[in-house]
Chains A and B, each alone.
Chain A
Amino acid sequence: MHNVCAIFRREFASYFATPLAFVFIIIFLLLVGVFAFYVGGFYERGQADLAPFFNYHPWLYLFLIPALSMRLWAEERKSGTIELLMTLPVTVWQAVLGKFLAAWCFAGVALVLTFPMWITVNYLGDPDNGAIFAAYIGSFLTAGGMLAIGACLSAATRNQVIAFILAAVVCFGFLLSGYPLVLNAFRIWAPQAVVDAIASLSFLTHFQSISKGVIDLRDLLYFGIVIATWLIANVIVIEMKKAD
């Protein structure tokens, strides 16, 4: 456990050692604001809720999360520090977990810093704070799922740009699998069970069901399984190709 903690702390601090942390947080906050107020019509709707704010989170994550995850392993490969890390008395699991948790926590910090939105909506009206809390949980879990995907794909390459693009594409697939665009294409020929299975893989479906204010065990389980699966894949990728 102390190894996970040591790697977590190093990794978390490294976000703040470069301008990455500040650039990321500022861009994230700007974009969620722009989307909530201009695209989502936060004021025009005349409702005291944060739906126009949360609805765009998965789409912002689509390109912001890969930017966080791309460096996790690709950078270690590029600079050769993976050799250092893997010859320290640390298991691959501890390294994978420490890195993932650090990136997830960082995403959490960015998310927490959106609290002025919550203050604003409480000032303007009388929103359902339970639903807002649930939506925050849903948003955080979506970020976690995407980070797990990004971390695994970052381990597969030494090139951060490739890691970014791969992660964005795979995350896009996971998002869209719940959308009519994809589902309609399957509905024509596939049995309902297959369509349901594909729909149930979607980040969006689970995110939306949580952000309605109902934290269902099945949704939590879904995110848990997605994260665990991708982290296991991450460990396997590292074990298989430590050196190249």
Chain B
Amino acid sequence: MIEISHLTKRYGALTAVDDISFNVEPGQVLGFLGPNGAGKSTTMKMITGFLSPTSGTVRVCGHDVEREPLAAKACMGYLPEGAPSYPEMTVRAYLEFIANVRGLSGARRRERLDDVITRLALKGVLEQVIETLSKGFRRRVGLAQALLHDPKVLILDEPTDGLDPNQKHEVRKLISSMSKDKIIVISTHILEEVDAVCNRAIIIAGGKLLADDTPQALASRSPSGRLDDVFRQITTGVQPTHEKEAAHA
């Protein structure tokens, strides 16, 4: 359970996130949509405790992220934007390090390591140094890191950004396969992704929450039934003109 209430983040005069409130329940895959610079990443950084909010609170699994950061972080897995990892480490050493920090030991440690290595097909690159891996593999290593302790809450910031269509498909399949009992929040600006994996979508722009509904219900708001049009309409306030777009195409 994620409870976000009146979350606000200001940088000087700029308000990156403006009084956002919503809850996410287990079983929900929440797509966090918005144009670049809308405040998606900032919100995710506050949920995961990397940034402190200017005001408002975030509670994850019943723990206030600011007051009990360790307990909140322990029940979350987080893939930061761009999937940063330590480039000089081998995949195995990196996962072992994460397992150490997550306090995994004994049989459970082996079981969890085996699980993520199989799930993300990392067996072949275990002894390889991360900086020599392709972008797709690096993303998978980042996902493995986030999944390692089998967290109740998964926060994935643009998990498919920069991947090729096959890799995107794989990652989406992975997300769908885990969605039953977890809370998954993914940010993206790829709308087809929301259709493919999410059962709830939130649109934010300019730091404000503009829409919160199922992807289907959102799409049906537009006469065309296309999520793209709704997205454009909500985030820019422009009524889409299909005739012109069709003419351009």
Do A and B make up one complex?
yes
- B64-82: CB near A (< 8 Å → 1, else 0) gives 0000011101101010111
Q: Given A83-B45, A84-B145, are A89 and B102 also a contact pair (CB < 8 Å)?
A: yes
Q: Does A185 contact B (CB under 8 A)?
A: no
Interface size class of B (residues with CB under 8 A): 20 to 34
Residues of the B chain whose Cβ atoms lie less than 8 Å from the Cβ of A114? none
A10, B84: Cβ atoms under 8 Å? no
Q: Which of A61-106 contact B (CB under 8 A)?
A: 79-81, 83-84, 86-91
* CA–CA, A7 and B87, complex, Å: 15
Q: Give the contact stretch, choosing among A12-20, A25-33, A190-198, A209-217.
A: A12-20
Min Cβ gap A47→B in Å is 44
Q: Does A2 contact B (CB under 8 A)?
A: yes
Min Cβ gap A70→B in Å is 15
A6, B85: Cβ atoms under 8 Å? no
Residues of the A chain whose Cβ atoms lie less than 8 Å from the Cβ of B89? 10, 13-14, 17
Q: Which of A11-60 contact B (CB under 8 A)?
A: 13-14, 17-18
Q: Does A9 contact B (CB under 8 A)?
A: yes
Nearest residue in B to A244 (C-beta to C-beta)? B11
Residues of the A chain whose Cβ atoms lie less than 8 Å from the Cβ of B70? 89-91
User: Which of B73, B82, B84 sits near A88, CB closer than 8 Å?
Assistant: B73
Min Cβ gap B89→A in Å is 7
Residues of the A chain whose Cβ atoms lie less than 8 Å from the Cβ of B102? 88-89
- B81-114: CB near A (< 8 Å → 1, else 0) gives 1101111110001000110111100000000000
A80, B80: Cβ atoms under 8 Å? yes
Q: Given A84-B145, A243-B51, are A17 and B88 also a contact pair (CB < 8 Å)?
A: yes
User: Which of A7, A13, A79, A80 sits near B101, CB closer than 8 Å?
Assistant: A7
Q: Does A187 contact B (CB under 8 A)?
A: no
Q: Given A14-B89, A89-B73, are A242 and B101 also a contact pair (CB < 8 Å)?
A: no
Max count, chain B CB within 10 A of own CB: residue among A10, A13, A87, A88: A87
Q: Given A10-B86, A89-B70, are A83 and B50 also a contact pair (CB < 8 Å)?
A: yes
- B123-156: CB near A (< 8 Å → 1, else 0) gives 0000001000000000000000100000000000
User: Which of B49, B71, B103, B129 sits near A87, CB closer than 8 Å?
Assistant: B49
Interface size class of A (residues with CB under 8 A): 20 to 34
* CA–CA, A9 and B89, complex, Å: 12
User: Which of B48, B84, B98 sits near A80, CB closer than 8 Å?
Assistant: B84
Residues of the A chain whose Cβ atoms lie less than 8 Å from the Cβ of B76? 87
* CA–CA, A89 and B49, complex, Å: 10
A87, B84: Cβ atoms under 8 Å? no
A87, B48: Cβ atoms under 8 Å? yes
Min Cβ gap A12→B in Å is 12
Q: Does A159 contact B (CB under 8 A)?
A: no
A81, B78: Cβ atoms under 8 Å? no
Q: Does A3 contact B (CB under 8 A)?
A: yes
* CA–CA, A18 and B131, complex, Å: 12
Nearest residue in B to A83 (C-beta to C-beta)? B80
A2, B103: Cβ atoms under 8 Å? yes
Residues of the A chain whose Cβ atoms lie less than 8 Å from the Cβ of B48? 87
User: Which of A10, A84, A91 sits near B80, CB closer than 8 Å?
Assistant: A84
Residues of the B chain whose Cβ atoms lie less than 8 Å from the Cβ of A13? 89, 93
B100, A2: Cβ atoms under 8 Å? yes
* CA–CA, A150 and B102, complex, Å: 28
Residues of the A chain whose Cβ atoms lie less than 8 Å from the Cβ of B74? 89
B50, A86: Cβ atoms under 8 Å? yes
Task: Identify the B interface with A (CB < 8 A).
Answer: 45, 48-51, 69-71, 73-74, 76, 78, 80-82, 84-89, 93, 97-98, 100-103, 129, 145
- Given A17-B89, A81-B84, 14 new contacts (CB under 8 A): A2-B103, A6-B100, A6-B101, A10-B93, A13-B93, A14-B88, A80-B80, A83-B80, A86-B50, A87-B50, A87-B73, A88-B101, A91-B70, A242-B51
